[in-house]
């Protein structure tokens, strides 16, 4: 096959793509409703373009005044986020669109009638193409980062005799700041990590990679989990960025024991389910990277046959629906006892399904990660 034929075979049809887009848009509008769809669009625009001060001022305005100021502030923010050259082009485009002037150019046997509104439309298209180019380049870089991040994550849950283990992580954006990992320490012991870096996107993902590399380097060198926490904290404090920190739950399990050794650095305490009884482990120390000298303590939990331990990131309890309500710890606690007889993978699937049903069509705002440990009968 020639290069031209191959290119034609791979390039999507313009009209087919447009038809698919219309059907997808119509299906979404039919499912969510026009009013809800428009409302969600404006909510996304406000969240990205408006400052907290502007949002607070809008909340105190009447409906008509609010829409007027919202429109003006959105346009101003859009204008200021453009590069200087594109701002000039945008101003020229609006000037040309507002006038009906033009001129006539004569060439050899050719008469060309040029109207300024047409030039304004052309300038808007050029600006749109430039912005789309930047977005696609950034998207390609994030996709490459996502591929690297996925390669650093385990592709399966660890096989530990006597334990049923299930790991899961899903980022809200192309790359995320949650860390789920495990490392086989010796023939009987496995260390399991669930970390959550403050923030989202690329900065959080880079610090997450730093945290993962540090843990993998140190977990085989130190036996004390308190010392492990101190050494990781000193490294992140030394090499980290201001106001950037990470919370962590590190779990160590052995094939010949039901004991779980736990290091909790500023994270939500894992949930324990023993029979029908629900318990929460004690809270841990400070998050990693905030302070140079922090004292950490090792915790322990003894799991009998059939008992569960669930560690999770705040992307689970802080999952938000379209009304702005959080999934919350109360819903989580109400659901967990019904999972006592399920294997770990089904426990995780049911938790995710409950969050999915609660969130509905609302956009995801945070990464979500889970570690489920179950002691085999």
Q: How far is CA 319 from the centre of its chain?
A: 11
3-state secondary structure of 235: helix
Check if the beta carbon of residue 11 is closer than 8 Å to that of residue 297.
Answer: no
**Among candidates 304, 306, 305, 301, which has minimal Cα distance to 271?**
301
What is the per-residue pLDDT for 102? 62
pLDDT tens digits for 9-50?
467 787 788 788 788 878 877 777 777 777 777 777 888 888
Residue ranges of the chain with per-residue pLDDT less than 50: 1-9
**Among candidates 279, 313, 283, which has minimal Cα distance to 296?**
283
- pTM, two decimals, is 0.74
**Among candidates 225, 227, 294, 236, which has minimal Cα distance to 259?**
225
d(CA 322, CA 36): 9
Check if the beta carbon of residue 131 is closer than 8 Å to that of residue 123.
Answer: no
Cite the beta strand spans of 21-173 per DSSP E: 102-107, 110-115, 163-170
Q: How many CB atoms lie within 10 A of CB 163?
A: 23
Q: How many CB atoms lie within 10 A of CB 200?
A: 19
Query: How buried is residue 13: exposed, middle or buried, by Cβ count under 10 Å (0-12/13-18/19+)?
Result: exposed
* Residue with the two structure tokens 């004569």: 106
Provide the token pair at 323: 């009304």
Check if the beta carbon of residue 308 is closer than 8 Å to that of residue 272.
Answer: yes
Check if the beta carbon of residue 261 is closer than 8 Å to that of residue 185.
Answer: no
The H-or-E segment that residue 191 falls in is: strand 189-197
What is the per-residue pLDDT for 3? 47
What is the per-residue pLDDT for 176? 75
What is the per-residue pLDDT for 247? 94
What is the per-residue pLDDT for 1? 40
**Among candidates 208, 312, 303, which has minimal Cα distance to 252?**
303
**Among candidates 311, 285, 286, 279, which has minimal Cα distance to 298?**
285
What is the per-residue pLDDT for 110? 59
What is the per-residue pLDDT for 263? 97
Q: Could you tell me which residues come within 8 angstroms of residue 236 by beta carbon, excluding any fewer than 6 positions away?
A: 207, 210, 211, 214, 245, 246, 288, 289
Number of H helices, E strands in the chain: 12, 12
| DSSP sequence for 13-59 | PHHHHHHHHHHHHHHHHHHH-HHHHHHHHHHHHHHHH--HHHHHHHH
What is the per-residue pLDDT for 104? 58
Domains of the chain: 82-152 (no CATH), 157-375 (3.60.40.10)
Give CA separation, 36 vs 2, 31, 325, 355, in Å.
48, 10, 16, 21
Q: Is the dihedral of CA 323, 325, 326, 331 positive or negative?
A: negative
d(CA 254, CA 165): 12
Give CA separation, 259 vs 98, 192, 193, 353, 370, in Å.
74, 14, 16, 30, 20
Q: Which long-range contacts (CB under 8 A, 24 or more apart) does 223-231 make?
A: 224/298, 225/250, 225/252, 225/261, 225/262, 225/263, 225/296, 225/298, 226/263, 226/295, 226/296, 226/297, 226/298, 228/263, 228/296, 229/263, 229/265, 229/285, 229/288, 229/294, 229/296, 230/294, 230/295, 230/296
What is the per-residue pLDDT for 21? 78
d(CA 192, CA 179): 10
| DSSP sequence for 260-280 | EEEEEEBSPPPEEEETTEEEE
């Amino acid at each position: 096959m020639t290069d031209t034929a191959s290119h034609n075979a791979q390039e999507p049809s313009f009209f087919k793509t447009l038809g698919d887009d219309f059907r997808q848009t119509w299906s979404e509008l039919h499912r969510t409703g026009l009013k809800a769809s428009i409302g969600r669009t404006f909510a996304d625009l406000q969240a990205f373009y408006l400052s907290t001060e502007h949002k607070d001022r809008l909340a105190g305005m009447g409906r008509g005044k609010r829409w007027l100021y919202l429109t003006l502030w959105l346009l101003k923010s859009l204008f200021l986020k453009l590069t200087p050259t594109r701002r000039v082009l945008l101003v020229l485009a609006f000037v040309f669109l507002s006038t009906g002037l033009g001129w006539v150019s004569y060439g050899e046997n050719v008469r060309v009638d040029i109207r300024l509104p047409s030039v304004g439309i052309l300038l808007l298209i050029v600006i749109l193409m430039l912005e789309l180019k930047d977005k696609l380049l950034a998207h390609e870089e994030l996709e490459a980062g996502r591929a690297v991040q996925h390669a650093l994550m385990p592709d399966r849950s660890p096989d530990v005799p006597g334990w049923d283990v299930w790991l899961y992580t899903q980022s809200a954006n192309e790359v995320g700041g949650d860390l789920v990992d495990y490392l086989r320490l010796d023939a009987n012991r496995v260390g399991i990590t669930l970390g959550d870096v403050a923030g989202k996107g690329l900065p959080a993902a880079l610090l997450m990679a730093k945290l993962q590399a540090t843990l993998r380097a140190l977990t085989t060198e130190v036996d004390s989990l308190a010392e492990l926490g101190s050494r990781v904290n000193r490294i992140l404090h030394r090499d980290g960025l201001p106001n950037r920190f990470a919370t962590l739950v590190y779990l160590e399990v052995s094939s010949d024991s039901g004991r779980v050794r736990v290091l909790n650095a500023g994270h939500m305490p894992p949930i324990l389910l023993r029979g029908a009884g629900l318990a929460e482990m004690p809270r841990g120390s400070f998050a990693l990277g905030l302070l140079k000298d922090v004292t950490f303590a090792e915790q322990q939990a003894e799991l009998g046959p059939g008992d569960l331990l669930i560690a999770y990131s705040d992307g689970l309890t802080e999952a938000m629906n379209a009304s702005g309500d959080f999934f919350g710890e109360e819903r989580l606690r109400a659901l967990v006892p019904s999972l006592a007889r399920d294997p770990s993978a089904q426990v995780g699937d049911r938790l995710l399904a409950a969050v999915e049903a609660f969130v509905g069509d609302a956009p995801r705002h945070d990464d979500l990660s889970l570690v489920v440990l179950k002691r085999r009968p």
